[in-house]
């Protein structure tokens, strides 16, 4: 996407759309390989140890098979942020995961009982998914919605577009989305005019924010993962696309911004303490190596799981790599508080935020 186009999107919709960083990057998007969880995560199932499973990350590589499927949908939390939520939903083998995901996004719809308390589905009540199909060659999801889709509050326009786009591109084989209403292709959203004349991708960003003193026309987008909690004190991750001053090293800048913490400190929580510094971030052979330093860290000391997973999510989001090798003070022999080992490269999870409904 060139500079002219994203300036145009800013003028039309009031919020900047993000230029594409790397082909195929984006959390849970186009990857089809099996998940490689931290060592010990699935140990309880395999009888290898008593290590607990990670509560907020689902690591079932076969989760799209059988009667009960894990489907990731992007819902709005009580603070107005979109967050991925993994929902266990009964899905017949003949049903498309994308169709069910869209149905889960309908406010007050058939599957509203599966939406966790404190979260909101973004599509207007009464919206019907007339048709969902995927052009496998183009990796394009074509979605036809009923007329109720265009009856919404203007402030919901961009979150609706982001929720649909990020939800569908969470499904392997889908990278782009095309929207229509009652068979008529939409070229823009009707209230605020968000442009739809080109296929939607994760390049639009999510939960957009602009760093302090940053000029939009001379900026680089990075997507970061911070933390929030439900009313029941369940932790979950929230992705935020932040515009920062233009840089030639966006992957390293992303981890530095992750350490800097959220701009909205009242609603989101930092997952990495300011004691950490980024020595380097390098990508090779689909593995991104994040080299961190912390003068207070002692070898063998457990590192918070929340920190490690936020680094993994942020690093893969901004590089397109599928695995992350974390080093801390040059050491890869890292374990979290549940004794899960991160000594080998760890794959990004297909699903996060398994919040109870």
What span, in angstroms and rounded, lies between the C-alpha atoms of 42 and 35?
11
Residue 34 tokens read as 């099996």
Comparing CA positions, the residue from 69, 15, 60 lying closest to residue 41 is: 60
pLDDT of residue 212: 87
- The span from the CA of 248 to the CA of 280, in Å, is 13
Sequence spans of domains, the chain: 65-203, 207-350
- The model scores a pTM over 0.85: no
213 in the Ramachandran plot: left (φ > 0), alpha (ψ -120 to 50) or beta? left
**CA 214 – CA 260 distance, rounded (Å):** 15
- pLDDT at residue 22, as a whole number: 33
pLDDT in tens, the chain (357 residues): 433 333 334 433 334 444 333 333 333 333 322 223 444 333 333 332 333 333 344 444 344 444 568 999 999 999 999 999 999 988 887 889 999 999 999 999 999 999 999 999 999 999 999 999 999 999 999 999 999 999 999 999 999 999 999 999 999 999 999 999 999 999 999 999 999 999 999 999 999 999 989 999 899 999 999 999 999 999 999 999 999 999 999 999 999 999 999 998 889 999 999 999 999 999 999 999 999 999 999 988 999 999 999 999 999 999 989 999 999 999 999 999 999 999 999 999 888 999 887
Q: What is the pLDDT of residues 291-322, one digit of tens each?
A: 999 999 998 899 999 999 999 999 999 998 99
The predicted structure's pLDDT at residue 264: 85
In angstroms, how far is the first alpha carbon of the chain from the final one? 38
- Looking at residue 67, its pLDDT comes to 53
Residues 45-96: pLDDT tens digits? Answer: 333 233 333 334 444 434 444 456 899 999 999 999 999 999 998 888 788 9
Which three-class secondary structure string do you get for the chain? CCHHHHHHHHHHHCCCCCCCCCCCCCCCCCCCCCCCCCECCCHHHHCCCCCCCCCCEECCCCCCCCCEEEEEEEEECCCCCEEEEEEEEECCCCCCHHHHHHHHCECCCCCHHHCCCCCECCECCCCCEEEEEEECCCCEEEEEECHHHHCCCHHHHHHHHHHHHHHHCCCCCCCEEEEEECCEECCECCCCCCECCCCECHHHCCCCEECCCCCHHHEEEEEEEEEEECCCCCEEEEEEEEEEECCCCHHHHHHHHHHHCCCCCCCCECCCCCCCEEEEEEEECCEEEEEEECCCCCCCCCECHHHHHHHHHHHHHHHCCCEEEEEECCECCCEECCCCECCCCEECCCEECCCCC
Contacts of 38 (CB under 8 A, 6+ apart): 54, 308, 336, 340, 341, 342, 346
Give every CB contact of residue 283 below 8 A, 6+ residues apart in sequence.
251, 289, 319, 321
pLDDT at residue 266, rounded to an integer: 86
């Amino acid at each position: 996407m060139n500079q002219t186009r994203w300036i145009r999107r800013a003028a039309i919709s009031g919020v900047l759309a993000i230029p594409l960083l790397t082909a195929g990057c984006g959390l849970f998007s186009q990857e089809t390989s099996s998940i490689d969880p931290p060592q010990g995560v699935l140990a309880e199932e395999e009888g290898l140890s008593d290590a607990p499973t990670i509560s907020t990350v689902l690591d079932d590589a076969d989760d799209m098979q059988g009667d009960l499927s894990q489907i990731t949908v992007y819902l709005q939390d009580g603070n107005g942020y979109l967050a991925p939520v993994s929902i266990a939903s009964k899905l017949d083998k003949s049903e498309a995961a994308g169709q069910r995901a869209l149905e889960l996004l309908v406010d007050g719809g058939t599957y509203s009982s599966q939406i966790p308390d404190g979260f909101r589905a973004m599509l207007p009540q009464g919206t019907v998914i007339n048709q969902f199909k995927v052009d496998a060659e183009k990796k394009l999801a074509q979605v036809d919605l009923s007329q109720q889709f265009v009856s919404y509050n203007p402030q919901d326009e961009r979150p609706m577009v982001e929720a649909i786009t990020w939800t569908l591109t969470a499904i392997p084989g889908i990278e782009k989305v095309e929207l229509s209403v009652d068979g008529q292709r939409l070229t823009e959203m009707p209230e605020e005019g968000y442009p739809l004349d080109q296929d939607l991708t994760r390049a639009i960003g999510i939960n957009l924010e602009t760093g302090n003193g940053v000029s939009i026309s001379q900026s680089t987008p990075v997507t970061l993962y911070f933390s929030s909690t439900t009313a029941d004190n369940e932790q979950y991750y929230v992705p935020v696309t932040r515009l920062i001053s233009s840089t030639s090293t966006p992957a390293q800048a992303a981890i530095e911004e992750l350490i800097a913490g959220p701009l909205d400190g009242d609603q989101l929580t930092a997952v990495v303490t300011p004691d950490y510094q980024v020595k380097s971030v390098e990508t090779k052979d689909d593995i991104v190596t994040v080299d961190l330093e912390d003068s207070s860290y002692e070898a063998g000391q457990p590192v918070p799981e929340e920190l490690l997973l936020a680094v993994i999510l942020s690093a893969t989001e901004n590089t397109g790599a599928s695995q992350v090798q974390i080093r801390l003070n040059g050491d890869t022999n890292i374990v979290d508080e549940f004794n899960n080992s991160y000594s080998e490269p760890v794959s990004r999870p297909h699903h996060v935020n398994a919040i109870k409904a």
